[in-house]
Structure 1
């Protein structure tokens, strides 16, 4: 996605806030806000933000898992399954 097509100055945002919010919700593309010709902020709709946060959380879990693998903090799946079955049968 090219963000250069979705760039507006802060004055546009101030004058057209309701329209900008409606457009964000409809198009689900982030909008770069500039001030004095310099990018200062990115606006996005809530659904996209939530999706981004969920994606980041999953990526963090994957990164933590990779760190555990690299550090040798792993156990064979068969051992884990056997232990879980033993707990289920004991309870």
Structure 2
């Protein structure tokens, strides 16, 4: 995805905030906001933001799992299944 077509100055945002928000929701592409010719912020719709946060959380879980595997903190699946069966079979 190229962000060069989605760059607007902060003055555009100030003058067209409602339109910008509608466009963000419809197109679901982030918008780079510039100030004095420099990129200063990125705006995105809430749905895209939430999806990004969920993706990051899953990636963090995967990274933690990989660290545990690398560190040898693993157990055979049969041992885990047996422990779960014992746990659920006791009143």
What TM-score, normalized by structure 1, do the two folds share?
0.97
Partner residue in 1 for 2:81: 81
Instruction: Give 5+ residue unaligned stretches, structure 2.
Output: none
- Superposition RMSD on alpha carbons, in Å? 0.6
Partner residue in 2 for 1:12: 12
What TM-score, normalized by structure 2, do the two folds share?
0.97
Shift of 1:90: 1.9
Greater than 2 Å deviation, 4+ residue runs: none
Question: What is the aligned length?
Answer: 91
Taking the aligned partners of 1:3 and 1:35, their CA distance within structure 2 comes to 16
Residue 28 of structure 2 is aligned to residue 28 of structure 1: yes
Taking the aligned partners of 1:77 and 1:3, their CA distance within structure 2 comes to 45
Shift of 1:89: 1.6
